[in-house]
Amino acid sequence: MNDNIRDRQRLRIQLLQDLYEYHFGPEERSFHLPGPKKNVGPLTDKETRLAYDYLHKKGLIDIKDVVGYMHFSITPQGIDLIEERILGERAEQI
């Protein structure tokens, strides 16, 4: 049971980190994935859908359905959480 919880936490952090890196990539943008209605892509995986839903309900990401594609973007709260996590980890290493 504890391993399942840790795996879910890692998945949520990884998804949020990916959106953070995508947001601050070469161009400011959001991330598009095929919607679950298309039965393709990562959103067909239950754990991934639950993780995105959790992040959305926590206010860390925005999700919009745009013509069959799910549009994801990190919110300011999500950016703050990732940056605090990164800076906190580095501060502990110093």
Instruction: Report all structural domains of the chain as residue ranges with CATH numbers, in order of start.
Output: 2-93 (1.10.10.10)
- pLDDT at 60 > cutoff 90: yes
pLDDT at residue number 10? 94
Residue with tokens 């959103």: 43
**Cα(89)–Cα(66) distance, rounded to whole angstroms?**
36
Residue of 90 and 69 predicted with greater confidence: 69
What are the C-alpha distances in Å from 59 to residues 2, 63, 67?
Answer: 25, 10, 23
Query: How does residue 61 score in pLDDT terms, banded at 50, 70 and 90?
Result: very high
Q: Are strands 31-34 and 61-66 parallel, antiparallel or unpaired?
A: unpaired
* Of the candidates 81, 7, 78, the residue with the CA atom closest to the CA atom of residue 45: 7
- pLDDT at 92 > cutoff 60: no
pLDDT at residue number 33? 61
